[in-house]
A = this chain, B = another copy of it.
Amino acid sequence: MGDVTAQLAAIVGEANLLTGEAISDDYAHDEALSSPPQKPAYVAKPASAEEVAELLKAASTASVPVTARGSGSGLSAAARPLADGLVISFERMNAVLEIDVENHVAVVQPGVTLAELDERAAAAGLTYPVYPGELSATIGGTVGTNAGGMRAVKYGVTRNNVLGLQAVLPTGEIIRTGGRTSKVSTGYDLTQLIVGSEGTLALATEVIVKLHPRLPHGATVLAPFDDLDQVMAVVPKIVASGLAPHILEYIDNMTMAAMVYNEKLELGVPDAIRERSQAYLLVALENSDTGRLGEDVETLGGLLDELGALEVYVLEGGSARKLVEAREKAFWSAKAAGADDVVDVVVPRSAMPVFLAKARELALAAGGGVIGCGHAGDGNVHLAVFCKDPEARTNLLTGVFAYAMELGGAISGEHGLGRTKAKYYLKLEDPAKVELLRRIKSGFDPAGILNPGVLFG
């Protein structure tokens, strides 16, 4: 152990290697609700791809399991280390290397946060549109989980916005995948294979992402409906309308109540409507032209009216921003309310009503409850699960995930499997497919040092 410590310290420098008491509690967990914290044996903070390569070689030789860490804001415990493990924290590799305006591309180190990157892009009139609820998340972490967020309905998730990587293989080789181009048909797409692999295949040390024109004008519309089924029926119509909203969220009344309460929102929804409405639709539009934006808001309003909205509120700048922020923080509201888990099942858009009905039914039968909101345009349902008994909860979630898969969906749309959902995956997924994933994994990581326990249990 002392030997390993000395080796690791020689690679990153004494000051950048933590062991024992020097390791703060932060490194012991991410934001997953259902995973106990675990401090690692080592935390190393490399400054370059070469240092990452040396760390991985040393870990390989000494059979030390390695967990990469961005900001630790993940929701599936994929950044939670093992007791004898090494955390590679990318906090020092946090430079925006280039904003390439002509190619609409940025080249960044993995420790850059989403907030920083978007700020830098904004200065060039561009945007990096991956907006999960937590903007302190790092680019490396979002590559790990394939993060989505509210704007994915228009701009896609992380995988749709990552063009290339520099990555270090667990065997120590530094490779480059993809490039500064939006298309490549030259060998297997390693970029897409590494995105979403939750730190189990390779560690990203540089990321090339796509930037988009930043549209200056936006409007946010809130529409209460009698029930969730109505909201769900409206979603495909809005998608088909060509209005191309960049936010298209449903929020159930319990979640809205928690958000209003926690964030002290003033939405101007009269009591009569609030009491009647079981679900809300939140839609945001953007445009480079205010005239067109106005027309589109009009069209949207008409559509919502026609499809049964109890009212259509075009929110003012301040309250719109607050509502969107409150939606981003819905996780904290759920946590504060005592939720036992948060899941982000994805199903085909049109299957959301049957899925939600079934999830509620299963929760009730388990003596618990589910409430939530979600990226309705993507069929991505975020449920706060209330069910204290661990066994009942496991059964409940097994039933919920199994039904989502039966409908043509998947266990997670954007949070990943990590440590907390792996057992469900292994139970419910086709064994032939899991075997194939294992063979891919060992093609990258023959010694199995990258994030053991994640994804494969």
Query: Does A129 count as interface, using CB distance less than 8 angstroms?
Result: no
Interface centre among A147, A188, A349, A455, by most B CB within 10 Å? A188
- Is A193 touching B196 in the complex (CB atoms < 8 A)? no
Query: Does A437 count as interface, using CB distance less than 8 angstroms?
Result: yes
Tell me the number of copies of this protein: 2
Instruction: With both chains docked as a complex, state the minimum distance between the C-beta of A436 and any C-beta of chain B, in angstroms.
Output: 7
- Is B425 touching A103 in the complex (CB atoms < 8 A)? no
Task: Tell me the chain A residues, 176-218 only, with Cβ under 8 Å from chain B.
Answer: 176-177, 179-190, 192-193, 195-197, 201, 213, 215
CA distance A201 to B429 in the complex (A): 20
Instruction: With both chains docked as a complex, state the minimum distance between the C-beta of A315 and any C-beta of chain B, in angstroms.
Output: 24
Instruction: With both chains docked as a complex, state the minimum distance between the C-beta of A211 and any C-beta of chain B, in angstroms.
Output: 10
Question: A148 with B408: in contact, given A176-B430, A436-B175, A443-B443 (CB under 8 Å)?
Answer: no
Q: Which residue of B lies closest to A346 (CB)?
A: B181
Binary per-residue interface labels of chain A (222-237) against chain B in the complex, 1 for a CB within 8 Å, 0 otherwise: 0000000000000010
Q: Which residue of B lies closest to A192 (CB)?
A: B192
Question: A185 with B430: in contact, given A175-B436, A436-B443, A444-B436 (CB under 8 Å)?
Answer: no
Question: A379 with B181: in contact, given A193-B188, A213-B240, A432-B175 (CB under 8 Å)?
Answer: yes
Binary per-residue interface labels of chain A (155-187) against chain B in the complex, 1 for a CB within 8 Å, 0 otherwise: 011011000000001000111110111111111
Query: Does A380 count as interface, using CB distance less than 8 angstroms?
Result: yes
Query: Does A109 count as interface, using CB distance less than 8 angstroms?
Result: no
CA distance A407 to B213 in the complex (A): 24
List 24 interface pairs A-B (beta carbons < 8 Å), by A numbering. Answer: A101-B236, A102-B350, A103-B349, A103-B350, A104-B239, A152-B183, A156-B183, A157-B185, A169-B436, A176-B430, A180-B409, A181-B410, A182-B378, A183-B378, A183-B414, A185-B417, A187-B417, A187-B433, A189-B193, A193-B193, A213-B242, A292-B292, A440-B440, A440-B443
